[in-house]
Structure 1
Amino acid sequence: MEIAPFGLERWFDEYEHDAEIMLAESGIRSLEANRFDTDPGELGYVIPTDGDPEFRAEIAARYGRDAEEVCFTCGTQEANYLVFRSLLEPGDHTVVVTPTYQALSAVPESICDVSRVSLSVPDWGLDVDTVAEAIRPETRLLVLNNPNNPTGRYHSKETVEALYELAEENDAYLLCDEVYRLLCEDPLPPVASMGEHGISTASLTKAYGLAGLRFGWIAGPEEVIEGAVRWKDYTTISPSVFGQHVARQALGEREGAILAENRELAREHHDMVAEWIDEHGLEWHDPVGVNGFVTVPDGFDSGKEFCRAVVEAEGVVLAPGEFFGFEDYFRIGFGLPTAELEEGLTRVGRVIEDHE
């Protein structure tokens, strides 16, 4: 198995440790641990290793599914990896909607043939007919990230339903990474609730501000979950006891307050960044979530050149668009604490103004 280097993570590894502001962070700001009971008792394995059955049943109910149709994972990254390993073999084919988080294309590309279907610039819309044209007899999986990372595009219910119908008609599955879904004021129904060809992956990282829990899940058909559990025996074995303990609280009575608080922060920061973009003559497609894909300012030849200038001059990390296949863009994350966002925007603005 050969896999492409994870460009964005290598970029972060090069710069984030010495930088002062992480304006490329793709989730909402982290919650304080003191908001939760952090004593899970004995720190052994979670048994059964795919997660507590009662808690899995609670999560499954959100998708109209049973406990056997949910597997708990260490974040969405592992959830997606386990789906790919469960379903794909050499000789299969996958269709991936891009731009997207590199793991959603690189992992299947390490296993089988992949066709990429690009969103259209500048509104990042998806042409379902183009997806249909990319499907082959050996297509096993369609892959979508909704809301999209890096663009913040939230594909409509009609678009997602059309993709699901394509999967069903071609005896394939639609995998949707829905890690940002609950930052939306009016979230769409999850793909796993659409039927036997739908798979949803999610976690408490991006919308809940609980990245350090490393707690996520897969919801989907039992055959997919069974395969994922078999592969999980070779990855993390079980989810974190600590993560599952706090996740129960975050997804219980506290959930409404957490999501309301985080959505309000996302709204306020969205408006702040939108005003900043206008001030500097930049462009983006109005995003859902806490990521925006912004045009590179005049005076810079590429996203990497601009982002490198920003981090070296001002100690602010941004994400070059090259890591998503678009060198004329950069990704900005605006879910961080307000004071850091304000300072980060001020510093990036100075770099832009110095090159005018």
Structure 2
Amino acid sequence: MHIEPFSLERWFARYEHEADLMLAESGIRSLDADRFDTDVGELGYVIPTNGDPEVRATIAEQYDRSADEVCCTCGAQEANFLTFLSLVDEDDHAVVVTPTYQSLRSVPEAVGSVTTVDLEPPEWDLDVDRVADAIRPETTVVVLNNPNNPTGKYLGEETVRAVYDLAADAGAYLLCDEVYRLLAEDPLPPVASMGEYGVSTSSVTKAYGLAGLRFGWVAGPPEVVAGAWDWKDYTTISPGQFGQHVARQALDQREAILAENRALAAENRDVAGEWIARHGLSWYDPVGVDGFVTVPDGFASGESFCERVVEEEGVVLAPGEAFGHPDRFRLGVGLRTADLRRGLERLDSFLERHDSGGN
């Protein structure tokens, strides 16, 4: 089994620690720990190791499923990883809608084979007929990330249900990474609620602002969730006691937290949108906190632009090469508004020097 290096994470490892501002972060700004009771008591394993039944039941309500149809994990990354291991073998095939978060393509590709279907810029629409054409007899899973990272595209319910029907008709599961779903003002029904072939993964990272908890889950049919739990015995065994303790409180406060975070995301999208228009750049106005912006004129690629920005201004952006689009870069707008404005001001200074011949 061979898996390719995670290019975005390697990029962050190269620059993030020493930089001043992170304008490539893909989640909402982090909440302070003092908002919650952090006294977890005894720091033992979570028992049972797929998550406390009451927590799983609370999560399951979002999907019209039972507690036994949820497995708690260390973030959505582990949820996706375990689900792929339970669904894809060396003779199996996955259809992955791209661009997307790299692990949603690279993990099934490391285990089986993958056919990608690209969203079509500039609106990043999905041609459902191309998904149908990509499905094979050996296809076991079709993969979406909705709202999408990096484009911010939120495919409509009609499109998602059409993809679900294609997968179900082929006897394959539709796996949807929905970590940004609750940042939408009017969230779609989750894929795990659509029927026996629907699988949803999520976490408290992106929409809740609790990345440090490393707490996520997979929800779906019992056989998929049980398979993920079987693999989990060989990875982290159980979710972290501390993460589950705080996540339980966040789930209880979800309406207040999500309202606050949606308002912040909306304000910041407006701020970023004005900056993009002022510089003659373009993006698809995103749902969530990821925007995929065109690279300014005068730069050969997203990577060359982002490299110059971080070296000259101490601001980290994500090059589009990490998502297969070297003509773009990902801008994260989930941070505190004052920090976003500060970062964009540095980009103003950078582009002014570039426009005056400093490139």
TM bin, normalised by shorter chain, reads over 0.9
The CA deviation at 1:349 is: 1.8
Using the alignment, how far apart are the partners of 1:338 and 1:76 within structure 2? 26
Q: Which residue of 1 aligns with 2:134?
A: 134
> Residue 337 of structure 1 aligns with which residue?
336
1:89-104 equivalent positions in 2, closer than 5 A: 89-104=89-104
Q: Give the whole-Å Cα distance in 2 for the aligned partners of 1:54 and 1:315.
A: 44
Decide which moves more: 64-73 or 345-354.
345-354
2-structure distance, mates of 1:316, 1:330: 13
1:313 aligns with 2:333: no
Q: Distance in 2 between matches of 1:34 and 1:169?
A: 49
Number of the residue aligned with 1:12: 12
1:281 corresponding residue in structure 2: 280
In 2, distance between residues paired with 1:149 and 1:332?
Answer: 11
Aligned to 2:61: 61
| Structure 1 segments unaligned to the other structure (5+ residues) | none
User: 1:249-288 counterparts in 2 under 5 A?
Assistant: 249-252=249-252, 254-288=253-287
User: Structure 2 CA distance, aligned partners of 1:273 and 1:45?
Assistant: 43
Q: SS of 2:199's equivalent? A: strand
Q: Which letter maps to 1:207?
A: A
The one-letter amino acid of 1:259's match is L
Whole-Å separation in 1 of the counterparts to 2:338 and 2:57: 40
Moved over 4 A (4+): none
Shift of 1:177: 0.1
CA distance in 1, matches of 2:194, 2:207: 22
| Mapped partners of 2:108, 2:284: distance in 1 | 28
Match of 1:42 in 2: 42
What residue number does 2:125 align with? 125
- Aligned residue in 1 for 2:206: 206
* Alpha-carbon distance between aligned partners in 1 of 2:61 and 2:354, rounded to the nearest angstrom: 54
* CA distance in 2: counterparts of 1:328 and 1:256, whole angstroms: 38
Query: Which residue matches 1:300?
Result: 299
Q: C-alpha separation between the residues in 2 aligned to 1:246 and 1:17? A: 26
CA drift at 1:324: 0.1
**In the comparison of the two structures, how many residue pairs are matched?**
355
Cα deviation code 1:140-167 (max 9, x no counterpart): 0000000000000000000000010001
What is the Cα deviation at residue 350 of structure 1? 1.6
CA–CA distance in 2 between the matches of 1:285 and 1:197? 30
Q: Distance in 2 between matches of 1:135 and 1:167?
A: 8
User: 1:239 Cα shift?
Assistant: 0.4
Unmatched runs of 5 consecutive residues or more in structure 2: none
State the shift of 1:348 in Å.
1.2
1:148 matched to which residue of 2?
Answer: 148
